[in-house]
Structure 1
Amino acid sequence: MSENVFFNPGQAVASSFDYHEAYVAAKIYRQKNNHELLLVQEKGTGKPYYVFDAAATKDNNQPTKNYHLVNRLK
């Protein structure tokens, strides 16, 4: 089952065109801040991966974009 999430791209913790780099950045951030992180990507090939703090989903005042959830780091 596909899961879509909405974020403001300016709230990204990290971003990379390489999945492994984005995942490593997420793990490092996760060790420093004990927050749930979401690794997402825009639909389509060649799009960058973004890492967002799951708490950022609660800010409804910012313009958002639709992303596909790739991995959830709890």
Structure 2
Amino acid sequence: MSENVFFNPGQAVASSFDYHEAYVAAKIYRQKSNHELLLVQEKNNGKSYFVFDATAAKDDSQPTKNFQLVERLK
């Protein structure tokens, strides 16, 4: 079962075309902050990976884009 999430791409903590690079960036950011992070992939083309702070999902004032959840880093 895939889970879709909506974020403003401008709020990304990191982004990459390579899953491993995005995952490493998420792990480094996770050590600096104590927030849950979401590693997501673009829904339309599936080429780019983004890392978002889970608290950014609560901001409804910005236009959002549809992403597919790949992994949660708690």
How does the TM-score come out when normalised to structure 1?
0.95
Write out aligned runs for 1:28-47 (5 A): 28-45=28-45, 47=47
Aligned ranges 1:11-50 → 2 under 5 Å: 11-45=11-45, 47-50=47-50
Output the CA distance in 2 between the equivalents of 1:33 and 1:45. 30
Amino-acid identity (%): 84
The ranges of structure 1 where at least 4 consecutive aligned residues each deviate by more than 3 angstroms after the TM superposition are none
Mapped partners of 2:50, 2:61: distance in 1? 20
CA contact (8 A) 1:11 1:56 kept: yes
Which residue of the partner structure matches residue 53 of structure 1? 53
Superposed CA RMSD in Å reads: 1.1
Report the AA paired with residue 73 of structure 2. Answer: L
CA shift for structure 1 position 43: 2.2
| Conserved? CA contact 1:17–1:46, under 8 Å | no
Structure 2 unaligned segments of length 5 or more: list them. none
| Amino acid paired to 1:3 | E
Specify the alignment match of 2:71 in structure 1. Answer: 71
Secondary structure of 2:47 counterpart: coil
Taking the aligned partners of 2:53 and 2:10, their CA distance within structure 1 comes to 12
Q: Provide the TM-score with structure 2 as the length reference.
A: 0.95
Q: Compute the displacement of 1:19 (Å).
A: 0.2
